[in-house]
Chains A and B, each alone.
Chain A
């Protein structure tokens, strides 16, 4: 990539920093330059977030319809998957899968719920009362 071709598009990075890129100068030698962003990758990032929001909304519906427990919604909201949630809670993935079932969820002890609530940064009551 030539130095003059380096894109300078507005992006989510703008508030934080410009990024260092390796580009060729006029003499064809490598140098570095700073870029504000590139719309191609900003679009990819926007798409990824659209997808996350859609998944979160789907999770909300699933909870509302009684197909999944509230843990499922908050897991999606925090962009977690089973392995990340397992890391933060210390529960096995297998165990979490069970806790995603409304029938199992409603009998969970406050102790276990508080572990989830802490990870999701909400109260046990909010977790219990979330109905989608």
Chain B
């Protein structure tokens, strides 16, 4: 019997692709929060001195591709990932997969993605979608951030797969291979692995710009921005932070609500009430991220009529978030899982 592909809407594109593909291959238990947690997606980094799109370089999640690979690997599933040097072989490969009836994930740039509104078409190259078929020369697309399925012409497909610039996709196609049955025990192990990995990434990486200390670093920077950049540019910098944190694809609160949802679901596999308690901590953190966005919004909406004390309010909030998340991850590192 032919397996039916089912479109699933997700908060985040890569989670969504992973969830849909794993479910398609029979892993019915899979949900977006589980993918995100097992894939150890939660993160924070502020790269100093680097200016991206005329704003600070901050990220609330790990490198594109990691979540998918990590989530599969932790469950013992192999991931096939292919990049291409030329457009022809990229197209042939995709068409072959379509012919075989295998839905695959594609990394694409959004600058030329026709169904995105113009306001969202930046040179952002780490968007992900699923190609699950072809009809009348158009690819059938399941884009996880969309409510319904859509299509892309062959020409547009090549354009978005060969978008250029930072993180250029180079036609990248990926899918899980030889998916096997996964036992509850394996899920538990994968959850524990994911949590441990996130603990390391948020607490123990050196440098002061990643994890919870990275949040603190941003807090300190915000205090300096108004003097250093002038009120207008400092406001734009805050706007960029808010966009990285709240834009479509984050689930809100810089992925923190997603992580809180993961811990809640993890509790169903690993019975431990502490997980629920820590989930609450991340909800709190997500709420504070939202609150900081509101405060930052007040600044950049006023454009130039802002004052240093407004920036201090935002910085204080980030400092508080940093310490809440630090506590939460320390708690996570201490509970006996298994």
Q: Give me the interface of A with B, judged by CB distance under 8 Å.
A: 1, 12-13, 15-24, 29-30, 32, 34, 38-41, 43-45, 47-49, 51, 55, 79-81, 83-84, 87-88
Tell me if B115 is interfacial: C-beta within 8 Å of chain A. Answer: yes
Is A30 within 8 A of B264, CB to CB? yes
Q: Which of A17, A38, A43 counts the most B-chain CB atoms under 10 A from its CB?
A: A17
Is A24 within 8 A of B283, CB to CB? yes
Tell me if B33 is interfacial: C-beta within 8 Å of chain A. Answer: yes
Contacts of B236 in A (CB 8 A): 47-48, 51
Q: In the complex, how many residue pairs between chain A and chain B have their CB atoms under 8 Å apart?
A: 124
Q: Could you pull out 22 A-B pairs where Cβ atoms are within 8 angstroms?
A: A13-B117, A15-B117, A16-B115, A17-B248, A20-B9, A20-B10, A20-B11, A22-B33, A22-B261, A30-B33, A34-B147, A40-B297, A41-B297, A44-B238, A44-B242, A44-B296, A45-B120, A47-B236, A79-B53, A83-B165, A84-B165, A87-B165
Q: Give me the interface of B with A, judged by CB distance under 8 Å.
A: 9-11, 33, 53-55, 111, 115-117, 119-120, 122-123, 145-147, 164-166, 168, 235-236, 238-240, 242-243, 246-249, 251-253, 257-258, 260-261, 264-265, 279, 283, 286-287, 290, 293-294, 296-297, 300-301, 303
Partner of A40, one of B122, B265, B293: B293
CA distance A19 to B145 in the complex (A): 6
Contacts of B301 in A (CB 8 A): 43
Is B300 within 8 A of A19, CB to CB? no
B117 vs chain A, min Cβ distance (A):
5
CA distance A8 to B247 in the complex (A): 14
Is A22 within 8 A of B123, CB to CB? no
Partner of B243, one of A16, A30, A45: A45
Is A87 within 8 A of B168, CB to CB? yes
Is A44 within 8 A of B239, CB to CB? yes
Is A79 within 8 A of B122, CB to CB? yes
CA distance A43 to B301 in the complex (A): 7
Contacts of B116 in A (CB 8 A): 16
Determine the residue in chain A with the shortest Cβ distance to B261.
Answer: A30
Is B246 within 8 A of A29, CB to CB? no
6 more contacts with CB within 8 A, not counting A30-B260, A40-B294, A44-B296, are A17-B146, A18-B147, A19-B248, A22-B260, A23-B252, A48-B239
Is A51 within 8 A of B54, CB to CB? yes
A113 vs chain B, min Cβ distance (A):
19
CA distance A30 to B34 in the complex (A): 13
Contacts of B119 in A (CB 8 A): 12, 45, 49
CA distance A62 to B300 in the complex (A): 27
CA distance A55 to B242 in the complex (A): 21
Is B290 within 8 A of A1, CB to CB? yes
CA distance A47 to B290 in the complex (A): 18
A92 vs chain B, min Cβ distance (A):
14
Partner of A1, one of B145, B146, B257: B257
Partner of A44, one of B11, B243, B258, B264: B243
Is B166 within 8 A of A84, CB to CB? yes
| CB contact under 8 A between A44 and B297, given known A13-B248, A17-B145, A19-B11 | yes
Contacts of B246 in A (CB 8 A): 38, 40-41, 44
Is A30 within 8 A of B168, CB to CB? no
CA distance A12 to B249 in the complex (A): 15
Is A40 within 8 A of B257, CB to CB? no
CA distance A50 to B55 in the complex (A): 14
Partner of B123, one of A20, A38, A79: A79
Q: Which of A12, A18, A38, A41 counts the most B-chain CB atoms under 10 A from its CB?
A: A41
CA distance A34 to B246 in the complex (A): 14
CA distance A30 to B257 in the complex (A): 9
Determine the residue in chain A with the shortest Cβ distance to B289.
Answer: A1
B308 vs chain A, min Cβ distance (A):
20
